[in-house]
Amino acid sequence: MTAQPSTACDAAQSGWPRRSVLKAGALAVGVGLLGRFADARSEGLSNSDYQGLDAWAMGQAIRSGELQPADLLAAALARCQAVNGRVKAVNMLHEDYARALLAQRRAAGTEKQGPLAGVPVLIKDLNTYLQGTSTSNGCRLFKDAPPAPRTSTLITRYEQAGAVPFGKTTCPEFGLTTTTESKLWGQTCNPWNLAMSAGGSSGGAAAAVAAGIVPVAHATDGGGSIRIPASYCGLVGLKPSRYRTPSGPGHFEGWFGASVANVVSRSVRDTALFLDAGQGHEVGSAYWSPPLLRPYVEELQREPGKLRVAVVRQSLTGAALEPAIATTLDQTIKQLLGLGHEVEELTLNIDPGQLFGAHGAVIGTALRTAIQDREQVLGRAATAQDLEQITLVNLGRAKMTTGEALYRARQSFESIGATMEQPFERFDVILSPVTANLTPQLGLLTLDQPWDSYAHHAMGSAGFTVLANVSGQPAISLPLGQSDSGMPVGMMFTARLGGEDGLLRLAHQLEQDRPWAARRAVL
């Protein structure tokens, strides 16, 4: 399939966030749909109606015959064309792939089947594959990578549930930073304020959802890459337990299990819906995650009960909380108390040096392996014209990592995971900020800068999130606050290994108590 590059983001389009409140009940979707879209097939699904649907409601409308899959795909493509030039969230369009998939389903009589029937989705352009299309990993070294011979298992599961992939979203080079800016694809802008970062590394996915191109986008998280952009863009972002979702075929874990895949979305029920579709053991994988008691969408109908909530305020990088972050944390505590939960402060027994040292050793070795494999295919060594400055620094350090150091890093993953299970003997969930800092301006966290300045700016972005990647525990970012300038602020909840069910019940309760659906970026 031919990739159709998106147009460039105009980073100069700044100004404070433009927000609006949707019509009351616009996202109370899935109720009273009958007759709503009577003219969709003759006139096309309007942008306002498209924006008023989450993935759950889209699937319901397709199964009921209110909409056709082609209606949703056309609306998604139209919205992409209208806004992507400003946010640059979508870097490749695979419209031919999507239309061929729909034609195949029509011929088989299956186009109205599945919980994700007809839902248009986008795939992160990082270590995830769609048959017949290229994956660039945000890197110039991979810009001419050959089309993938097969589709990644997770994306296949989405397709089997009825979803329609039609393009890819931007990421920084190899997903190495918490913004989405690269020499290959340029800057991805935050739809709430085009001068600001959308986060990373799943910033393209988050920007696409926040801009209304799709209700849900595939994302991955190896150090906060789902939760950070979800926080910056006002979305729900769940990093599942290690091995909850598949990484294959042929490659069954990312970064020793630190990197896992799921989605970013606007609603908790969409996150549950896609996790149900994607989760489960993959044939050939040696790894397992605890089995489900019931589907995650059913968990949303169950009360979370009275929870014991631990509050962690201290970032493991030592970065101080910006005032709006601290305020949102305190507001979240009040909300939890108002809902009847118990709250207690907690200091984690984690050595930051061990945590970040082990995480860095694993990432660096994976980076070195990927680059060496590509060099072998190209028959030449990578140069500074292929890789960005921080990538080169990480590559140089990785060449010094011994086998013993890598083995000890894996041991650290295990010991930190065991340590992080201990608080759950007393608590049901841990509450913390997602980041210590508010959404940064574009340019501050780019990989194209000296190491010292990069490290300085990065201190506030991943001091809370990396821990759950190393421990393997599930963690979710919820859009529970806003800064004085109107930018979203997320809070993070972490559960014991395999505890996504409890996280989703709590998330649904918080969403119902203080809905965030009406807080939307407007482009």
Instruction: Supply the residues annotated as catalytic.
Output: 124, 201, 225
Please enumerate in sequence order all residues whose Cβ is within 8 A of that of 186, keeping only pairs 6 or more positions apart, or say none.
8, 9, 88
3-state secondary structure (DSSP) of residue 189: strand
412 φ, ψ (degrees, to nearest 5): -65, -40
Q: C-alpha angle 165/87/117, rounded to 5°? A: 20
Inter-helix orientation angle 268-278/153-160, to 10°: 110
Residue 288 to residue 243: CA distance in whole angstroms: 6
Q: How far apart are CA 23 and CA 523, in angstroms?
A: 16
Q: How far apart are CA 286 and CA 187, in angstroms?
A: 38
CA dihedral sign, ordered 510, 208, 260, 445: negative
- Identify whether the C-beta of residue 41 lies closer than 8 Å to the C-beta of residue 71: yes
The conformation of residue 352, written as its DSSP 8-state character, comes to H
Residue 449 is given by DSSP the state S
Rg (CA), the chain: 21
